Amino acid sequence: MGSDLTRYLRVEKLPHIWCAGCGHGIVTQAIVRAIDELGLDPVKVTIVSGIGCSSRAPGYMNFDTLHTTHGRAIAFATGVKLARPELKVIVITGDGDAAAIGGNHLIHAARRNIDLTVICYNNTVYGMTSGQYSPVTPLGSFASTAPYGMVERPFDLCELVMGAGGTFVARSTTYHARHLTNVIKQAIQHKGFSFVDAFSQCPTYFGRRNNMRDALAMLNWYKENAVSRDDWAKIPPTQRGSKFPIGVFKDEEAPEYCESYRKVIEKAMKEGDAK
């Protein structure tokens, strides 16, 4: 512990643009701490993001960083990874970015099992545009475009990615910062498509509209409602209420896309030589 993480940051670009009490700094710290603890060569790490509050994180991170268009980070990252499979490619995205406008890219990257690590800074709201509901905003909660309460059913992003074929899926929260760091480490080490649903508080645009006045109230909410995967399984579905599971939900091995495609290249080149 106690490693100087500032060498992974573009300190001169600080202060960041996030609001006071925002959870995104905690998730960003967890990512660089995971990179540090894994001893990755920073030159061989590329971080790709889309649009939204979360997607500003790479600007502060001292790697090759690519801040793309709304929802498209995973598709850009697919190009980077296929062009240079030796790079560790980490995608930083938000719930609107990944699950609404970029939902198609998320499920297809999971299906291909391409070796990307996607960290979703999930604050259940569009923060950059000041508080509209997203595909994960809980039923009944309020947003600037859900003034009478949310009536759309939310996605569980972990279930979505597992259903689409992602081979490593985990969830944690900014309250569980150490746990979050650990699951990010596992995700980065995983060979294949890995997804971390990182709950991150937005007191400014979500908390204040939903009876959680500040960051502390929201962190307390995470503390009180997060349960381990095993404990979650023991609670009868009717009694789960606002509780949600954290932990690693899936960790499986399956053929990774870049490796599969490398075999295609070998086959094509061999057949080409034979001619």
Alpha-carbon distance of 226 to 233, in angstroms, equals: 13
Angle at 236 between CA 99 and CA 219, to 5 degrees: 50
Residue 41 CB, shortest distance to other proteins, in Å, is 10
Binding letters toward other proteins, positions 101-140, x by CB under 8 A = ---xx--x--------------------------------
Minimum separation from the CB atom of position 161 to other proteins (A)? 15
Contact indicator for 246, 228 with CB cutoff of 8 Å = yes
**Which of 15, 134, 20 is closest to 70 using CA atoms?**
134
Number of amino acids touching other proteins (CB under 8 A): 41
H-only helix segments in 165-226: 177-189, 215-225
Stretch of 27-35, 65-73, 128-136, 223-231 contacting other proteins, by CB under 8 A: 65-73
Angle at 172 between CA 146 and CA 66, to 5 degrees: 80
Considering the complex, state which of residue 22 and residue 75 has its C-beta at the smaller distance from other proteins: 75
Q: How far is the CB of 2 from other proteins (least distance, A)?
A: 24
Q: How large is the C-alpha radius of gyration of the chain?
A: 19
Query: In the bound complex, what is the minimum distance in angstroms from residue 97's beta carbon to other proteins?
Result: 13
CB nearer to other proteins: give 91 or 219.
91
Task: Bin 52: left if φ > 0, else alpha if -120 < ψ < 50, else beta.
Answer: left
Contact with other proteins (CB under 8 A): which of 66, 90, 169, 196? Answer: 66
Interface with other proteins, residue 223, by CB under 8 A: no
Among 7, 213, 240, 267, binds other proteins (CB under 8 A): 267
Cα 57 to Cα 253: distance, rounded to the nearest angstrom: 30
DSSP alpha helix (H) spans, 68-210 = 73-83, 95-96, 103-112, 157-164, 177-189
Q: Does 7 bind other proteins (CB under 8 A)?
A: no
* Contacts (CB under 8 A) with other proteins, residues 35-64: 42-44, 46, 48, 58-59, 62-64
How far is C-alpha 115 from the geometric centre of its chain's CA atoms? 14
Q: Give residue 130's identity as a one-letter amino acid code.
A: S
Residue ranges binding other proteins (CB under 8 A): 10, 13, 42-44, 46, 48, 58-59, 62-69, 72, 75-84, 86-87, 104-105, 108, 261, 264-265, 267-269, 271-272
